[in-house]
Amino acid sequence: MREPARLVSRRWLDRLLAPRQGGGVDPAISPDGEAVGFVRSSVSGHVQDVYLVPTAGDRPRRLTFDGKPVRGLTWRDNEHLVFASKRSNEYALWQVSVETGALKWTGVMEARSPSIARESGLLVYEHVEREINIWQADVTTGAVRSEPLIRSTRSDRTPHFRSDGKAVAFSSDRTGHFEIWTSDSISLGRPRAVCGACNSVAARQSVFSRGFAARR
């Protein structure tokens, strides 16, 4: 078994793929040196998937079919690749089997550019942290509240007022993934999740029609 190269350049990958259609970026060689995982784009870098090609040369094989942005990949072992994908609205680390294509979420959110140490198995990655809060203002006077109406250490987005202005439905990833939440806009009581499987304007509007906001 040959000693695998430590680094694989994009130019080397282009030469490997030259006889075939399509190029690739972010190449990563397997621990045994037998295969290269890489990312291929189909629409201006926004529609991407993970592919595999033997280093000896052969037709590339597509491993994922998400069509979502991918920001880096690494090998966990000779049978699994770990990659950062936006397949769940926000970037997260996913594992894919190179044999079956089976996908598994690693439990790591807001992550990009993963790298796994071959001997220790330790993982390092880029963590992106953003705090997006919901504010309130008076449209007549232009006065803005001195502090956010709804705040967390993650992203609280796209608020929708109940018609009487006493409650707000919004989407938040404060638990690690986006859900629909409601909050009393008067007493600012503790927000609560009311719809974990939906995240859309229609879903937020329907929260009030189903009576969630009126419950205590």
Boundaries of CATH 2.120.10.30 in the chain?
A: 10-127
* Mean pLDDT to the nearest integer, 170-186: 78
pLDDT tens digits, 9-28: 556 566 666 545 567 888 89
- Residue 19: which residues within 8 A CB-CB, separation 6 or more? 57
Please give the angle made by the CA atoms of 34, 106 and 63, to the nearest 5 degrees.
40
Question: In this structure, what are the phi and psi dihedrals at residue 81, rounded to the nearest 5 degrees?
Answer: -110, 140
CATH domain 10-127 topology: Neuraminidase (2.120.10)
- For the full predicted model, state whether its pTM sits above 0.75: no
